[in-house]
Structure 1
Amino acid sequence: MPLPRGAAALLLLLSAPAARAQPDPASPFLSAHCLGCHSGDKAKGGFRADRLTADLNDASNRERWRDATERVRSGEMPPAGRPQPPAAASAEFVAQVEKADAARRAATGRVPLRRLNRLEYERTVCDLLGVELDLREYLPPDAAANGFDTNSGGQHVSSFLMERYLDAAEAALAVAVSNSPKAPPVVNKRLSLTDERHVKVTTEKVFRHTDDGLVMFSSSAWQAVTLSQFYPPDRGRYRFRITASAVQSDKPVSFRVDAGPMLMGTKNRHVGYFDAPPGKAVTIEFTEAIEARNTIRILPYGLASAQAVHKVGADAYDGPGLLIHHVEVTGPLHDAWPPASHRRLFGDLPQAPTPTRRDRVEVTSKAPEADAERLVRDFAARAFRRPIAVADVRAFVALAKRRLQEGASFEQAVRAGFAGVLCSPKFLYLHEQPGRLDDHALAARLSYFLTTSTPDSELLALAAAGKLDDPAVLRVQTDRLVRGPQSAAFVESFVGQWLGLRDLDSTEPSHILYPEYDHALRVAMQREAELFFAAVLADDLPLTNFVASEFTILNSRLARHYGVPGVDGWDFRRVRLPADSHRGGVPTMAAVLKVTANGTSTSPVIRGAWVADRILGVPPPKPPPDIPAVEPDIRGATTIREQLAKHRSVASCAACHAKIDPAGFALESFDVIGGYREFYRTTGRGQPVTLDGRRMPYLRGPRVDPADVLPDGARFADIDELKHLLLRDKDALTRALAVKLVTYGTGGPPEPADRAELAAVVARVRDQGYGFRALVHAIVQSTLFREK
């Protein structure tokens, strides 16, 4: 069979050392041992060796070459029964491919050029301009590669995307630049909910009016009270002070605050949950960015339904309630005028009324072209995260000057230049050269890794002085960023992708099977995972806590869900778990258990694959295309184990399922919303269930069987025993998490050539007791992080 053109081209590249010009022996190796089975439409295993090309910069082609060499290296290919090549021939073939790949890495680096994702773009623009604005809504969702949207392998650019970048940039500049001649008047009001429109017109007797304020007894959504006395004409940051207390209760009463237009069909934003203690009034204070003609609303949590209260009337009702004494609002808050965001862009240049509107001002200049060039150049220097040359800003300066020549005002022309900078490749992409990163590239990589935003002034100053490359300085800066407030964005972004929490709202649990699920539980689920991750990082606890831990971070809502006593109020705190809780570690967190289930049923396959990928770092292969999925039986006729037994009897499925399913069976002890269970819930055949004197809408189904056996023969009875088995190989757990962090933080996963460096990272962490922050330091100090 003649060698295919693509494979022949690569083999010519591989087999041409300086001492010889003729391609040999790699070409005969493929011809003799690979192409007979792996070519044409009926290629075995779906692997087409005849489609391999010489372009190792193509990620998918490169992965096929690596797959081929790994199978040859391990002796898996050629398979038993086929002619076997001499060991030296196999070794030379593998060496030639690796040599070509090493040449590719030396020329281009391990990680291709990557751009900012939506979150990074929003945070960078907002930090650069000094504004608060949701810019992600302007941009299409980011595609993920290797599990993260920071990876260049999943990033694409189109004319549509560039148009959206321009829209986002112009929206941000419109907020940053002030065209008002004076600061908007400050609202300073003290409001009583007894004066709200909804309270006055409702016919349901769910509110009690007192001399101290309004008592709310119902948690029904339609009885939330919107602050209709406050619909400000100007956007900005407003300070809210809500004075509240719990009545007729010996425990705190929580309440929810949302912000937004509060109109039908509009999107409102969740501000947070807060606690009102019994007996004594407290004042909860927070500041929030409020758009013009937006407001807030208040809704108690965990109280009675409106029907229950109305039945006896609020004045006679003796259940717990929330007393809102008053609400104070102050804003918009500005230290000076024009605001700091305006001065960042235009400095102290004067403003003058526009020709058409005397109530509107624009920035003016006596030397418009010179000032336009200076302002655009200064802005680009901050935006591009490194020193700039004249050529770097020539196009944006030219754009501003051309707008001036076309008759645009000075401010309009300069804003066009600013918008161009915010859409330019030098802003959108992290520019890194092959080999060792220079100080500015290192500053950007470190900052986007640990804060998801542009380097701050301290990092930029160290980079400019050439000091950041010093390992001791780099360690200090890593600690500073980890402990700083901006690390919360890293926690949210990494945890959201590593654990899959961005999919928390992708399914809605059945209200029949899981009537206890509510918004407060959903919020608490996510916060537990984020706060736990942050605590392990801040305290440098062993990363084995992610598998099994004696503590977690709970509030009353999640503690009630977990059956952990003694936790009151909305505030989260570190709680030592009871020995029989079956909790501890991320696989048993409610948020993880929810995203690995659908709204009605669980699957050991999905949860087992999640553990294999996210915790053990060995993602299972995709199932064969001709094998049907297991359909859940929510009526309780068969258990998932019985259904999978038939599925696993297929020879092509058995090998993978033996590795995937055991962890999934252990996690069957947890339902769709992460509640611990001994029996399945069903809607068909089963026994009635009564809880707190109330008949539940679901039935008790078959008993859960969480026991299974690992591929190495180790047996376990439940999730607790499985955790201990997983902890046997701490190095493997460390390596798996290291790969995730490197993939997220550098824009691409480690490659086979990085095995030794990855092993060195694991060894350094092992020597420090497997501390999680020690792992972050080891990664940042490694060549994986410090080289492109």
Structure 2
Amino acid sequence: MPRWFGFWAAALLGAVSALETVAASPPASAADSIQFEEQVRPLLLQHCMACHTGAKPRGNLSLDALKPDFTDAASHARWASVMARVQSGEMPPKDKPRLPPGEIQTLTHWLAPRVAAADAAALATQGRVVLRRLNRTEYENTVNDLLGIQANLKGQLPQDGSADGFDNAGAMHHTSSFLMEKYLEAAETALNLAIANRPKPPTLIKKRYSIKDGHPVRGSTESVYRFLEDGEVVCFCSSEWHNASISTFYPSDGGNYRFRISASGFQSPGKPVTFRVTQSGTALTGTSGLVGYFDVQPDKPKVLDFVRHMEPRTTISMLPYGLAGANTVNKVGGEQWTGPGLAIQFVEVEGPLHPVWPPESHRRIFGDLARVKMGDTNYGERVEVVSAQPLADARRILKDFTRRAFRRAVTEDQVAPFLAIFESRLAGGHTFEQAMRAALKGVLISPAFLFLTEKPGKLDDFALACRLSYFLWSSMPDDELLQLAAQGKVSQPEILRQQVERMLASPQSAAFTSHFVGQWLGLREIDATEPSHILYPEFDHLLKVSMIRETELFFGEILKNDLPLTHFIASDFAMLNGRLAKHYGIPGVDGWEFQKIRLPAGSHRGGVLTMASVLKVTANGTTTSPVTRGAWVLDRLLAAPTPPPPEDVPSIEPDIRGATTIREQLARHRSDPSCSVCHRLMDPPGFALESFDCIGGWRDHYRVTGNGGEVVIEGRRMPYHKGRKVDPADVLADGERFADIDQFKQLLLRDKPRLAGAMAAKLVTYATGRVPQPADREAMAALVTAVVAKNFGLRSLVHEIVQSGIFQNK
């Protein structure tokens, strides 16, 4: 461990400690305490304490233990919640006596100025957002963009915590000496990839391969292939053990490689054949390890061209989708098989690709400084950067590097500590490059790199550029945005609007869709459970990947065209491919490629509520729970999360035998006073979704493993049985009844401003790193008013957020 590491670790932890100090409002006076005891506590005793006291208070809110101390963050938040619920009429509940207007006024008039004073004190001292560290994704993207490399650095860092559904929440970004060590290791990995110590690039591979020479085709004992002229091979089965690779391509050097795969459908008249390409060395979970799915037409060879970053000693494999099993084909033989297949003519590989040497990543740091031989390695000669004017070159390099790394203009004083590291290492006998590596590592583990530099009050142009860039790109600002910040133009409303449009049009904005949607809707949990192969034998990898892709494309379509965000509740179109369309029972769609499909009359699909991705992540592998799904609806679509259940209340165990229904099991919870206050809110949305099974398929009856009716599909007897009939009807907390998911959607659409407010809250949380606070009520209301006037457009909402004070102030 370098000696200078301790200096930067201590500096970083000290900065975190100082900047995370929580501001406090002035302590309560004796007069305040007397007023509370004489005017407020009697109201609470009369109207609230019966439910919100004791060992099992409703909603986990115990008012007898809540003190009028607004200097305590937890107490402040609870009092703010009490005030909001009383003002909205949510409390007391409708089945309890209402507070007279005069008593409501007494309570809110006492609370409002104290809550506001605590809010104002916190805003003035630290802003609404605490110090934010780059999360793992942002760190990896930032290092890669800074250095011009492609490095998997997330795997070297511990998992990020999350708050309010997002992992960029500043309050959950703890820092430790262990994390600092991991940052140092990641910085070394990144610099090793960026800096070229070879005198010339790795040997270029440029070769055409046939899968007949690879595994498992070459050694297969099953007759599932047909061998044609010029190395063309037809694959007739989709069994996993026949995942055909070009195993003779196994490069010793990592880097970007260009692949050209020539393939076509075979004996598949009128329909495309879909196949997947995977990369070895990474487990195939979700999209990890997946290059992609592709369609090829029958008898028309198509060359698929793509560039892929490959780790050393890895290769690619291809497997057709939806064909017969190997055992079935083997009984007939590949030469006689008359069913469809995938013909692969050849696979061409070229790489690693290096247009120039030293590569761009090296030149970003050292420019055109000379390199000389310093010895031999396993790769041959080793060269290092040298300098005739080491101190002058180090100062120039570090000033430019820190400017880009810190994402703002830097002073000589800010560069000085890193220059001191360089000078110390150089004086200790290290070479110019070795001393520069130490200084560059110092930059990459410094507070100014790892944290977003924001001061209380209005953000300066550099901080605003960073907030915008990490919102829409999950990475550092590019040169154009930094140049505008240096000119003081980012904060100009029209310039800011132009930059949002430019950034949303960039391919980098895919990060916004992926990371926001993945966390807002919980799609990152797609692999958390594996559906039972007995209850859901039709579930496969293509369906899972299609689920995720549908939701991302749907969000992208609404964002791109500024469609009303009410489409997230109910929409007359969906983004579908053949696999998902079959799953939804919608005819006329084939292959992997997605299309915007107008939903047929009577379809229960449309909106995220009925997407298979959402329905899967809100279920386990065997059964569904109205509680889980109902809580998801309240939190993700209405921004009204329910508190966790009391610790002594047991969870509901699923009954996959079908002896009891989930409605019968939940009746016990609804009868428990400590549970009913939340279950009357959660259960109805969950019951509305009971018509959808664990993988998002429509159902009229439950699937069970116990006694039930036999199920036969396309002549095949299923391993599960038909259970009891599904009952999706219920009553909302306000007394409105619905019969099914279609009626439930319409009830949600009655209050479009509430839906807009919920979406605004999620976007603000993701964009700023903190959920909206009580002090933000007026600003959030203004956002809703603005987006209502623009027909609830999602893109308009993004613009309004970026132009708002919430976004432009710390």
| TM-score interval, smaller chain | over 0.9
Per the TM alignment, residue 291 of structure 1 is displaced from its structure 2 partner at its CA by 1.4
Which structure ranks higher in relative contact order (CA pairs < 8 Å, sequence separation ≥ 6)?
2
Structure-to-structure mapping, 1:238-253, within 5 angstroms? 238-250=257-269, 251-253=271-273
Counterpart secondary structure, 1:200? coil
Please tell me the residue identity of whatever aligns with 1:98: A
The question of whether the paired residues in 1 share the 8 Å contact of 2:257 and 2:351 is answered with yes
Is 1:352 aligned to 2:372, yes or no? yes
Please tell me the residue identity of whatever aligns with 1:316: Q
C-alpha distance after superposition, 1:698-743 (max 9, x if no partner): 0010111111122222221111111111111110000000000000
1:682: which partner in 2?
Answer: 704
Counterpart secondary structure, 1:354? strand
1:610: which partner in 2?
Answer: 632
C-alpha distance after superposition, 1:635-690 (max 9, x if no partner): 00111112112321222222322221111111001000001111100000101111
Of residues 252, 256, 269 in structure 2, which corresponds to 1:233? 252
Q: Specify whether residues 410 and 41 from structure 1 end up closer, same or farther in structure 2 by C-alpha distance, changes over 3 A only.
A: farther
Bigger Cα displacement from structure 2, 366-375 vs 310-319 = 366-375
Please tell me the residue identity of whatever aligns with 1:13: P
Output the aligned Cα RMSD.
2.6
2:163: which partner in 1?
Answer: 145
Is 1:29 aligned to 2:36, yes or no? yes
Please tell me the residue identity of whatever aligns with 2:147: L
Is 1:121 aligned to 2:139, yes or no? yes
Counterpart secondary structure, 1:728? helix
Per the TM alignment, residue 52 of structure 1 is displaced from its structure 2 partner at its CA by 5.2
1:484: which partner in 2?
Answer: 506
1:99: which partner in 2?
Answer: 117
Per the TM alignment, residue 155 of structure 1 is displaced from its structure 2 partner at its CA by 1.4
Q: Whole-Å Cα distance in 1 between the matches of residues 398 and 86 of structure 2? A: 56
Structure-to-structure mapping, 1:361-372, within 5 angstroms? 361-372=383-394
Of residues 165, 175, 184 in structure 1, which corresponds to 2:193? 175
Of residues 107, 127, 131 in structure 2, which corresponds to 1:109? 127
Structure-to-structure mapping, 1:123-272, within 5 angstroms? 123-212=141-230, 213-250=232-269, 251-261=271-281, 269-272=289-292
Please tell me the residue identity of whatever aligns with 2:197: N
Counterpart secondary structure, 1:24? helix
The question of whether the paired residues in 2 share the 8 Å contact of 1:14 and 1:97 is answered with no
2:436: which partner in 1?
Answer: 414
The question of whether the paired residues in 1 share the 8 Å contact of 2:36 and 2:68 is answered with no
Counterpart secondary structure, 2:702? strand
Q: Whole-Å Cα distance in 1 between the matches of residues 690 and 615 of structure 2? A: 10
Of residues 620, 640, 643 in structure 2, which corresponds to 1:621? 643
The question of whether the paired residues in 2 share the 8 Å contact of 1:10 and 1:53 is answered with no
The question of whether the paired residues in 2 share the 8 Å contact of 1:69 and 1:97 is answered with no
Q: Specify whether residues 42 and 523 from structure 1 end up closer, same or farther in structure 2 by C-alpha distance, changes over 3 A only.
A: closer
Structure-to-structure mapping, 1:721-740, within 5 angstroms? 721-740=743-762
2:667: which partner in 1?
Answer: 645
C-alpha distance after superposition, 1:453-481 (max 9, x if no partner): 10111111111111111111111111111
Structure 1, unaligned stretches of length 5 or more? 1-8, 16-22
Q: Whole-Å Cα distance in 1 between the matches of residues 670 and 682 of structure 2? A: 11
2:77: which partner in 1?
Answer: 63
Bigger Cα displacement from structure 2, 553-562 vs 84-93 = 84-93
Q: Specify whether residues 108 and 208 from structure 1 end up closer, same or farther in structure 2 by C-alpha distance, changes over 3 A only.
A: same
Counterpart secondary structure, 1:700? strand
Of residues 6, 31, 47 in structure 1, which corresponds to 2:62? 47
Q: Whole-Å Cα distance in 1 between the matches of residues 92 and 630 of structure 2? A: 28
Structure 2, unaligned stretches of length 5 or more? 1-22
Q: Whole-Å Cα distance in 1 between the matches of residues 581 and 283 of structure 2? A: 34
Please tell me the residue identity of whatever aligns with 1:233: S
2:486: which partner in 1?
Answer: 464
Please tell me the residue identity of whatever aligns with 2:522: G
Q: Whole-Å Cα distance in 2 between the matches of residues 657 and 50 of structure 1? A: 24
The question of whether the paired residues in 2 share the 8 Å contact of 1:555 and 1:567 is answered with yes
Please tell me the residue identity of whatever aligns with 1:67: S
Q: Whole-Å Cα distance in 2 between the matches of residues 573 and 603 of structure 1? A: 31
C-alpha distance after superposition, 1:743-782 (max 9, x if no partner): 0001111111211111111111111111110111111111
Per the TM alignment, residue 48 of structure 1 is displaced from its structure 2 partner at its CA by 6.6
Please tell me the residue identity of whatever aligns with 2:370: P
Per the TM alignment, residue 560 of structure 1 is displaced from its structure 2 partner at its CA by 0.9
The question of whether the paired residues in 2 share the 8 Å contact of 1:186 and 1:331 is answered with yes
The question of whether the paired residues in 2 share the 8 Å contact of 1:636 and 1:702 is answered with yes
The question of whether the paired residues in 2 share the 8 Å contact of 1:199 and 1:225 is answered with yes
Please tell me the residue identity of whatever aligns with 2:62: F
The question of whether the paired residues in 2 share the 8 Å contact of 1:120 and 1:448 is answered with yes
The question of whether the paired residues in 2 share the 8 Å contact of 1:59 and 1:153 is answered with no
Per the TM alignment, residue 222 of structure 1 is displaced from its structure 2 partner at its CA by 0.8
Per the TM alignment, residue 526 of structure 1 is displaced from its structure 2 partner at its CA by 0.3
1:718: which partner in 2?
Answer: 740
TM-score by length of 2: 0.91
Q: Whole-Å Cα distance in 1 between the matches of residues 570 and 184 of structure 2? A: 47
1:4: which partner in 2?
Answer: none
Q: Specify whether residues 72 and 666 from structure 1 end up closer, same or farther in structure 2 by C-alpha distance, changes over 3 A only.
A: closer
1:298: which partner in 2?
Answer: 318
Q: Specify whether residues 624 and 180 from structure 1 end up closer, same or farther in structure 2 by C-alpha distance, changes over 3 A only.
A: same
C-alpha distance after superposition, 1:267-311 (max 9, x if no partner): 972111111211111001110001122111111111111111111
Counterpart secondary structure, 2:217? helix
Identity of aligned residues (%): 54
